[in-house]
Structure 1
Amino acid sequence: MTQDLIRERQAMLAGMTPTLKAGSYHFCTTDAATVPASLLSRSLAIFREDKGTALILSSEDAQAHGFDLSMPMARIVLEVYSALDGVGLTAGVAGALADAGIPCNMVAAYHHDHVFVPEAMAQRAVEMLLAVQRDATSLPD
């Protein structure tokens, strides 16, 4: 069965079901000409930028490779199947968190969007996103 993709902002927010995942993550970067194969296979995400390769690694992997551990992040998965051309999910989530003073880094993947917030703010972020979801659910279409 193929999952229907959602494109409309209110429907995406109403169906986002934010889920806090276990684990602690770190945004890391390396300018090494070649990224070690062990990092490629263990990274949650990789993005090649002009100034280096950015990686999202578990705390264990970041520590094992000598990366900075000063900003542990929690990962919240938005369980809605938003379309790649859907408009407004990232803005709605990032705006609500910003209004609450919670910084976030958004990663839009193929199946779901992922919200990374400072670990100490994770529970509050989930509560804020659940409130956004409730509000979007209660609005008329």
Structure 2
Amino acid sequence: MAKAVSDSAQMIARMAPVLDSQDYCFCHVADDHKFHAASVLATFREEEGLTLVLPLAQAQAAGLAGPAFRRITLQVHSALEGVGLTAAVAGALAEGGIACNVVAAFYHDHIFVPSAQARDALSILQRLSAAARR
């Protein structure tokens, strides 16, 4: 894997967003809830309990369904200490009237947007990246 990019302009120019075809759901469960870990995309522990990001179909099957989101993965290996990528992405999507939930993982940032607006969100991010490459 290439070295992590920390320069704001380079992170934006090289983000190469990719839209996941699957719908996901953010769910809340009690800390002691037993859920098959292999089906969980992400977790975050809060004071109120555990947040799970699950494939929507699995969330529905478990009675945990909520709004449907699609994931856009930014392919750039962004540095965890990099400044500006999240702000640029969230700002561009906000200008387009699109809500986003950002999850930063070790290699990539993952942007969750309402499923109905996913293609518009992808287009916005592609334009943002193209503008940064000029």
Instruction: Tell me, yes or no, whether TM beats 0.5.
Output: yes
1:21-60 alignment, distance < 5 Å: 21-31=20-30, 33-38=31-36, 40-60=37-57
- Is residue 12 of structure 1 aligned with residue 11 of structure 2? yes
Q: 1:105 aligns with which of 93, 101, 111?
A: 101
Please name the residue that 1:78 is paired with.
74
**Residue aligned with 1:3, SS:** coil
Which entry has the higher C-alpha Rg, 1 or 2?
A: 1
How far apart, in 1, do the equivalents of 2:105 and 2:128 lie?
Answer: 21
Check the 8 A contact 2:56/2:65 in 1, yes or no. Answer: no
2: CA distance, partners of 1:53 / 1:122: 26
> Structure 1 unaligned runs (5+)?
none
Amino acid in structure 2 at the alignment position of 1:36: K
Q: Which runs of 5 or more residues in structure 2 are unaligned?
A: none
CA deviation map 1:20-48 (0-9, x unaligned): 012000000012x412141x331100111
Q: Percent identity?
A: 43
* SS of the residue 1:121 aligns to: helix
| Partner residue in 1 for 2:60 | 63
Greater than 2 Å deviation, 4+ residue runs: none
Question: Is the contact between residue 29 and residue 50 of structure 2 (CA under 8 Å) also seen in structure 1?
Answer: yes
Match of 2:118 in 1: 122
Aligned equivalents of 2:62, 2:8: Cα separation in 1: 40
- Partner of residue 127 from structure 2, selected from 105, 127, 131: 131
How many angstroms does 1:3 deviate by? 1.1
C-alpha distance after superposition, 1:104-129 (max 9, x if no partner): 00000011000000000000000000
Structure 2 counterpart of 1:56, one-letter code? V
Preserved contact between residue 12 and residue 85 of structure 2 (Cα < 8 Å): yes
Would you say how many aligned residue pairs link Structure 1 and Structure 2? 134
CA distance in 1 between counterparts of 2:34 and 2:12 reads 38
TM-score of the pair, normalised by structure 2:
0.96
